[in-house]
Chains A and B, each alone.
Chain A
C-alpha cells in the first residue's frame, strides 16, 4: 500500500497540526484519519490531498510519503510499529514518539523531540534536528530505550537526555547538555559538543570533535584507541556516582 499525503498551503501556516494518526498501522486498518488543527479536530483530507494506491496485508507493506509543508505537523509516526514513512521536507515536533518498529526517513530537518522515548525501529534525518532529539519527556526517568537515530546535520540542546538504550549517530555538532542523565545506550557525535554527559550514570558516548566545557567531575582513565583514532577516556559522572564511559578526541574546561 502506497499512501501519499500532500499538505496544502494554509491561510495561517503557523497553527500546529497534531497528526498522531499518521502511522502505517492506521492506514492498514483503514481508519478515518483525524488531525487537530489548533483547537479544531478535522479529517486529514481537510488539510491535505490523500492518495492511497494498492492494498496492504501486513504493516511491512505500508509506505507513507508526506509532501508539502509539514514543518508544523507534529507527532507523525507516534507509536509506529512497522512500515515506512518518508518525509520530503521538514517535519514538526515529536516525530516518531514511542515508535517500536519500522523506518522514518526525513529528507529535510526535524523539530524538537525527534524519536522521543522510542523503543525500536530506525529514524534517519538528512537535515538538522531540534532540541531533545532521542530524549525523554518532562520528569521522565528514561528517554530513548531502543532502536536507532541517525542525524546527518547537527542537533539542538539536550540531545539524548535520559537515554537508556539504543544507538544514536550525530554527524554534526550538538548544543548544550547532550546525553545529560544518560543511563544506557551508545551515542556517537562526530562533531563538537558542550557539557556532554552531565550527570550520566551509565552508557557510552563518543565525541570525535571537541568536548567544550567538560563537566569537572569525570575521572580520567587514560588514552585509548577507537576506530583508529586516539580518545581521552573518562568515567563518571562522579558527582552522580556514575559509571558511564565518555570518550572525547579533545576537551576543554571552563576554568
Chain B
C-alpha cells in the first residue's frame, strides 16, 4: 500500500509530497524524502513503557503511575519550566499552554535557542516576508545568509529556489541568481553565483554597509568591512537593486552569532530599504517541523510567541529573563517538563547540570540525551507518522500532518490532557 502526499515531520520545509510504502502497518520505504526525513520515517528503536528512577535505577511503570508522579512534581514546584514543543502539533501545544497557566509555569520552546532573535527583530521593525510559493515562482535573486540549506534543509533549493521551476521564471538555472553569505565556504556556497565570506561576527557591519550603499552613500564605507572588499559589496548592492524579486533566507549564522537580533533587524532594514527600489522579501529558515506552530499557538493564547512566564497569573515575556537558557543558567526552575525536543543534546553543560539536579520529566517516543537527565520518561506516538494534527511551515502556512500507522501509544495531546486533569484533581483534593 502506498500513501501519497504525506508531510514530512522533520524540518520547517514540511515537504508535503512524500510517498510512503506500507505493509502490515510497517513502513517499507519512503520516496521524495531527503536523508534527514528518510531517517525519521524509517527510524527503529523506541521506548516501550514509561520509566521512572527508583532508588537510582530505571524501572518500568504504568502510564497512570508516571502521570501521577509528573502531576505531583509539577504541582509541588514553585518555579516550574515547560520546555520543547516544536516537534509536536498545535493541538498538543494548546494543552501545554493551558498546563502552564494552570500551574503558574514558565513555558518556552526551541525557538529560544534558534530564531528567538528573529522574532525580537520582527517585533522591532516588522517582517517583509512572503510564502515559499512566491519565492519559487517569482524570485530571480535568492540570498542565503548564515544558513546552509544543502545540509540543514536539503530540499529547500530543489523545491523553492535554485533548482525549482518557477511560473514566472523561464529558465531557473540561468535566470535565477544565488548569493551565499557565510563565514566559511559551505556546500551551499559551491553552487552560488556570488559568495561573500565574512569574518565571524561581522554580519551586522556588512549589512550596515550594504544599507548605506543601497541609499547611495558608498562614500562613508571603508575599503574593507569584516573581511569583505568594498568592491564586492558594491557589486552585490547593485545585483540586489537590479533584481525584479529578491528573497533573503537567513539562519542561525546570524541569529546566534554576535549581535543576534541586531543582525536580523539590520537584515530586515536592508530589505525594507531595497523595497524602495524593487521587490524584496526576507524569511527565516526555521528548524523543527512545527517550531513556527508553537509561536502561533502561544501568541493566540498568551499574546507572545515564546518564553512566557505565567508565575504571576498573567503572561509576562522578556527574552533574556524568561528564556530557557537564561533561566536554567540562573538555576531558577525547581521542576522541568520536556516535550518534543532534546535539550540534553544541545544545551550548554551548566544548564543541563541544573536539569539533572531538579525533578525533570520527559515526554518523548525515544530514549535520547535528555533521558539521562530525567526522573520520569513517558513514551508517546510519533507525531506526523502515528498521530495527526496541525503544523506550520517555515513561512507560516499551516499543513495537516497525517497519521499513516496505527499505534497503541498515546499521543502527546492525550498525555498532556491526563496530566492537566490529574493536577486539577490534586488541587481539588488539597
Could you tell me which A residues sit within 8 Å of B by CB distance?
12, 14-16, 18, 36-41, 93, 112-113, 131-132, 137-139, 141, 176-177, 180-181, 195, 198-199, 213, 215-219, 236-241, 253-255
* Residue of chain B at shortest CB distance from A13: B331
Task: Tell me whether A39 and B321 are in contact (CB under 8 A).
Answer: no
In the assembled complex, the Cα of A14 lies from the Cα of B310 at a distance in Å of 18
In the assembled complex, the Cα of A132 lies from the Cα of B120 at a distance in Å of 14
Q: Which residues of B contact A199 (CB under 8 A)?
A: 208, 262, 265-266, 269
* Residue of chain B at shortest CB distance from A180: B262
B contacts with A: majority SS: loop
In the assembled complex, the Cα of A36 lies from the Cα of B104 at a distance in Å of 11
In the assembled complex, the Cα of A122 lies from the Cα of B321 at a distance in Å of 24
Task: Tell me whether B266 and A38 are in contact (CB under 8 A).
Answer: no
Could you tell me which B residues sit within 8 Å of A by CB distance?
77-80, 103-105, 120, 123-124, 199, 201-202, 204-205, 208-209, 211-212, 215, 217, 220-227, 258-259, 262, 265-266, 269, 310-312, 317-321, 330-332, 334
Task: Tell me whether B318 and A138 are in contact (CB under 8 A).
Answer: yes
Can you spell out 28 A-B residue pairs with CB atoms less than 8 angstroms apart? A14-B332, A15-B78, A15-B79, A16-B79, A16-B332, A18-B311, A38-B77, A93-B321, A112-B321, A138-B317, A138-B318, A139-B120, A139-B124, A177-B259, A198-B208, A199-B266, A215-B205, A215-B208, A217-B209, A217-B221, A237-B208, A239-B209, A239-B211, A253-B225, A254-B199, A254-B205, A254-B225, A255-B223
Task: Tell me whether A39 and B262 are in contact (CB under 8 A).
Answer: no
> Which of A38, A195, A239 is the one whose CB lies under 8 Å from B79?
A38
With A213-B205, A254-B202 as contacts: A240 and B222 at CB distance below 8 Å: no
Q: Which residues of B contact A195 (CB under 8 A)?
A: 204-205, 259
> Which of B124, B202, B208, B262 is the one whose CB lies under 8 Å from A239?
B208
* Residue of chain A at shortest CB distance from B217: A238
Q: Which residues of A contact B204 (CB under 8 A)?
A: 195, 198, 215
> Which of A18, A215, A237, A255 is the one whose CB lies under 8 Å from B312?
A18
> Which of B221, B259, B311 is the one whose CB lies under 8 Å from A39?
B311
> Which of B123, B222, B265, B334 is the one whose CB lies under 8 Å from A255?
B222
Question: How many A-B Cβ pairs are below 8 Å?
Answer: 122
Q: Which of B212, B217, B258 has the most C-beta atoms of chain A within 10 angstroms of its own C-beta?
A: B212
In the assembled complex, the Cα of A37 lies from the Cα of B332 at a distance in Å of 11
B211 to chain A, nearest CB (A): 4
Q: Which residues of A contact B310 (CB under 8 A)?
A: 39
In the assembled complex, the Cα of A217 lies from the Cα of B79 at a distance in Å of 45
A117 to chain B, nearest CB (A): 12
Known: A112-B321, A216-B209, A217-B212. 18 other contacts (CB 8 A): A12-B78, A15-B78, A36-B311, A39-B78, A39-B104, A39-B312, A40-B78, A138-B319, A139-B120, A198-B204, A199-B262, A199-B265, A218-B220, A219-B220, A236-B220, A239-B215, A239-B269, A253-B225
